[in-house]
């Protein structure tokens, strides 16, 4: 039991750590760009204005937006907080939490990693409980309690209801797209042989390995995208400043 919980915590920590790094990098980079745009750029434009040099229209428009943002920053913050508060309040409802949890599993790249993590956790839970001789309906009930994802919990509740009706486990899993083919096939094999615990350990190990691989690939994909995105923003600001300098030299 201790090894199981340690493995579960390690898997979640590894995924969160790998995905949090790109987020931290993007936040820091955007803060740097924000400082340049909000503080450095207006000073730069003010210098040109004092020399009676015509500033390019695009740069003038950007400065006007910055001035508007500074003048209405409290209003902007209130609107952002109101929207964020509304979203959080909705997520706290039963319906909102269900939709939010389902949406997380449909996110590009990250959704599949979360799905694999949930399935590997469930596979290990079912395997461990089956190995100590608990009845399958009770195992399903305990498995539901191990997940914080409402959509995942409801998926297992549907399996539990069909199990109580005598349909087994693999058949109701096959009807639900949340359960991936490997898990459905291995559960069917385990039901037929009576070795559900060992087959589900294989499923858990396979999904954990795939989740690790996909996490590494996701980080490798996100980092270049962030680099290009931030480079485009910085490049755009730099081009505006350089074009203004050339305009100034042409007018002197």
**pLDDT for residue 188:** 94
3-state secondary structure of 180: coil
Using alpha carbons, list the distances in angstroms from residue 169 to 162, 176, 239. 8, 11, 61
In this structure, the chain runs to a length of 252
pLDDT tens for residues 124-154?
A: 999 999 988 899 999 999 999 989 999 999 9
Nearest one of 181, 62, 149 to 170, comparing CA atoms = 181
Backbone angles phi, psi at 3, to 5 degrees: -65, -40
**Is the pLDDT higher at 105 or at 241?**
105
Q: DSSP E strands: which ranges in 33-95?
A: none
**pLDDT for residue 175:** 92
Nearest one of 236, 227, 224, 216 to 14, comparing CA atoms = 216
What is the domain partition of the chain in residue ranges? 1-252
Going by the DSSP 8-state scheme, the letter that residue 109 receives in this structure is T
Q: How far apart are CA 37 and CA 67, in angstroms?
A: 11
pLDDT tens for residues 144-186?
A: 998 999 999 999 999 999 999 998 899 999 999 999 999 999 9
**pLDDT for residue 202:** 94
Q: How far apart are CA 122 and CA 110, in angstroms?
A: 18
How high is the mean pLDDT of the chain? 84
Q: Which residues contact 7 (CB under 8 A, 6 or more apart)?
A: 124, 208
pLDDT tens for residues 85-104?
A: 999 999 999 999 999 999 99
Burial tier of 20 (Cβ tally within 10 Å: 0-12, 13-18, 19+): exposed
3-state secondary structure of 195: coil
**pLDDT for residue 74:** 92
1-252 placed in CATH 1.20.81.30: yes
Position of tokens 């294989």?
Answer: 202
- Residue 44 confidence (pLDDT) above 80: no
- Residue 198 confidence (pLDDT) above 70: yes
Q: DSSP E strands: which ranges in 156-213?
A: none
Q: How far apart are CA 187 and CA 129, in angstroms?
A: 14
Exposure letters 105-115 (e unless 16+ CB within 10 A, then b): beeeebebbbb
- For the record, the structure tokens of 112 come out as 């599949």
């Amino acid at each position: 039991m201790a090894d199981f919980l340690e493995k579960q915590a390690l898997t979640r920590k590894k995924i969160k750590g790998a995905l949090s790094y790109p987020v931290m990098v993007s936040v820091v980079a955007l803060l740097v760009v924000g400082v340049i745009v909000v503080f450095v750029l207006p000073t730069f434009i003010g210098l040109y204005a004092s020399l009676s040099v015509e500033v390019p229209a695009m740069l003038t428009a950007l400065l006007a937006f910055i001035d508007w943002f500074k003048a209405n920053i409290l209003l902007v913050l209130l609107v952002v907080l109101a929207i964020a508060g509304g979203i959080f309040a909705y997520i706290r409802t039963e319906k909102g939490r269900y939709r939010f949890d389902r949406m997380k599993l449909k996110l590009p790249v990250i959704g599949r990693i979360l799905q694999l993590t949930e399935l590997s956790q469930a596979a290990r839970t079912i395997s461990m409980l089956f190995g100590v001789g608990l009845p399958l309906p009770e195992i399903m009930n305990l498995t539901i309690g191990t997940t914080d994802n409402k959509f995942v919990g409801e998926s297992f509740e549907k399996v539990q209801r069909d199990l109580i009706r005598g349909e087994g486990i693999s058949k109701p899993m096959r009807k639900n797209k949340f359960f991936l083919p490997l898990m459905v096939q291995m559960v069917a094999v385990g039901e037929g042989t009576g070795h559900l615990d060992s087959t589900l350990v294989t499923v858990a190990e396979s999904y954990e390995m795939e989740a690790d691989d996909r996490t590494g690939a996701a980080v490798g994909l996100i980092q270049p995208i962030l680099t290009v995105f931030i480079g485009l923003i910085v490049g755009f600001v730099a081009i505006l400043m350089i074009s203004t300098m050339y305009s100034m030299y042409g007018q002197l």
